Amino acid sequence: MTISKQPPTPVTAPRETSYSVSRHARHAVEILLQATESELPAECCRYVQDVVFDGYSATGDSVCLPCPLRQQEACAGLKALEGCVVAAIAGLQRKERRRKITVNLERVTCFLMSAYITTLDGLDKSNPNISGRLPDTDLHGAQSILYRRLSAGLYETRNPGSFYHIHGSLDASTTLSMIGLPAFRDDLTDYYKIIKTIESAVKRFSTAELELRNQRFRQAGTAVLTQEQYKESPHGRIVNSLPPFTVRPLELSTPPIPLKELEKSVGRLQCLRGIRVIELCRVIAGPTIGRSLAAHGASVLKVTSPQLPDVPFFQLEVNTGKHTTSLHLKDPADRAVFETLLASADMILDGYRPSVITRLGYSPEALAAKAAERGRGIIYVAEDCFGGSGVPGAEWADRAGWQQIADCVTGVAWEQGNFMGLDEPVVPPFPMSDYGTGSLGTIAAMSAIYRRATEGGSWICRTSLSQYNLFLLSLGAYPERVQDELRHRHDSQFFDLRHSDSVDEVGKRALRSIRRLHPRLFADNVMQSAYSLGFCGVVRQPREALEIEGLKVGHVRATRPNGFDAPSWEGWEEDKTLLDG
C-alpha cells in the first residue's frame, strides 16, 4: 500500500547520518496500515498523504527515551492514523477533499510519559504530599503502602535466570498470600528490604509452580518471556496472527446512523459532537480511549463503583474532558440509573478483565440485542491485557493483566534489560503500552463510528496491551549506534537499575535523565495548565499531539476525580479557554 510520495523506510534501514524519528514514524504508519487495512474504513487511507510529522525543535525528531524499542515512532504513527480516521468522519459531515493532519513529535513523547509528568499545583506522582490532595480511591492500600505496592514486581524464581512478574493488582493481599507472605507488614518500610523479602518468597517456587498458583488464585501474573518464546507459545501464535485491533459487526439489522453536521463547540468544530460514550474502565489504557474520544467532542461519562479501587493519581490525567459518576451495578437502584444512561448511549468502553461486564448482564451480544430493539446500533470497545478474546485456542485470553504483565509476556521487558547491559529483564519506564493501547482503541472506536454511520449495525472492537506490544516489536529495535548513543547520554543511575526495581523507581530515574537532556519537552507549548474544580488546583499535563485542519482537537472541560458528577447526559459545562489554552 502506498501511503505517500516518500519511499518507505525498511526496518533494517541503510546507515543514516543521523536518526530521524519522523522518517521512521512514517514507516510505522505504513506497517500499521498494512496490519489493520481489513479493520479500517477504506476512505481513511486516502488521508495518509496529508500527514505531517512536525516539532518545535530538533528535540521532536530525536530519540528521547532510554529504551531500545521505537515507542515514539509507534505512537506517532498511531496518532497519524487516528487523524486519518477523524478526517474520514469529518468528510461524512463536510465534503472537504483534503485536511492537513499534523502530529507534534514533542507532544507524542510527553503523551507516553503522561502519568509521570502530570502535576497538581506542581506536585507530581512521586511527591509524598500529593496523596493528601487526592480523593482516596486506593481502598486496599495497594498503592499507598510500599510493601503492598511492591507485590506488583518482577522477581527471579527458584530457576536461576528465570523470572516471574507477580501483580497484586488493586488489592495486594491475595498475591502476597499466594507466595506465603502476610498481607501487611507494618514493620517493613525500607524499599530494598521489601524487595529482598518478596523476592526471597518468590524464589521458593519454580516458574512452573508460580504459573499454577497464579492461575489457581486468579492473579495477574506471568512468566517473563522473550519475543521468541512468546511467539512460539500457542497463545502467542494466535495473537500474533491478529491485527493490532479488530472491528467486527455484532448485528447489521439496524440502519445507518448519520453523524450530526459538524457543530461548533464553544466556537470550534469537533467531529464527535453528539456521540455519547459510557466508559467502564479504571487505571490508564481504557480511560485513555475515553480521554481521546472526548478530545474529538464526544460526551464521555466514566462510570466507576464506589466499592472498587482505582489508582488515585492517574485520574488527574485520564479523566480530562469527561464527566465522572459513581454507580454500583450490583445495586438495583444504581443499575436502574445505568439502564437510563444506556438507553441513549452510542458506545461502551470496557477495560475490565474479560467476562466481568458480561457477568453483569452487559455482554456485547446483549447490548446489540437491546440496540436492535431500539433501532439504533451500539459500539462496544473492549481493551484487555492478553488479547485473543473469543478466538479459539487463545488460552490466556481470560487472564487478568496490566501494562507490566504485557511487557513481560511479549518480550518487551527482556529487550529493555538487554539494552541496559543486563542478562535479565527490566520493565520499561512509563506505562507506554497503556497509552499505545489506548490509541489503538481510539482508532478502532472511531472506525466503528464511521462504519455505523455508513453501513448501520452494531460493532465490537477489540484490542489489547499485548497487541500493541507486538506492533511495537514489529518495528524493530533502534540501530545499535543509536542505542549506544542513548546509553552514553542518559544518566548512569538509570543503568544501575535491576530487574526487581519497581516501575516507579524505573520511571523516576528515566524522567530525571530526560529532563536533563531534553528540557524543551516540558515547555508551555507542549504542556497545558488548567484549573480543576474537582481537584481544587491547577493540573498541568501534555497537550494533544494531533492537529487537523478545519477541526479542533482538545477538551472543553477540566479533569475531575472519579464520581464527581451526577449520572446524567444533561447540563454538561463547556470551557472555551481549555480549547484555546
The neighbour count for residue 2, using CB atoms within 10 Å, is 12
Asked if 338 contacts 329 with a C-beta cutoff of 8 angstroms, the reply is: yes
Whether the Cβ atoms of residue 432 and residue 407 lie closer than 8 Å to each other: no
Looking at residue 446, its pLDDT comes to: 98
Q: How far is CA 209 from the centre of its chain?
A: 31
Select from 70, 82, 81, 142 the least CA-distant residue to 112: 70
Q: What residues does each domain of the chain span?
A: 21-133+235-580, 146-219
Q: Which of 304, 326, 325, 317 is nearest to 532 (CA)?
A: 317
What pLDDT does 47 receive? 95
Q: With contact defined as beta carbons under 8 Å apart, do 458 and 486 qualify?
A: no
Q: Residues 293-325: pLDDT tens digits? A: 999 999 999 999 999 999 999 999 999 999 999
Burial of 487 (0-12, 13-18, 19+ CB in 10 A): middle
Please list the ranges in the chain whose pLDDT falls under 70. Answer: 1-17, 262-268, 581
The strand pairing partners of 164, in sequence order, are 155, 223
pTM for the model: 0.95
Q: What is the reported pLDDT for 262?
A: 65
Predicted confidence at residue 7, as pLDDT, reads 31
Question: Cα 382 vs. chain centroid, distance in angstroms?
Answer: 12
pLDDT at 264: 57
Dist CA 409 CA 252 (whole Å): 37
Amino acid at 67: C
CATH number of 21-133+235-580: 3.40.50.10540
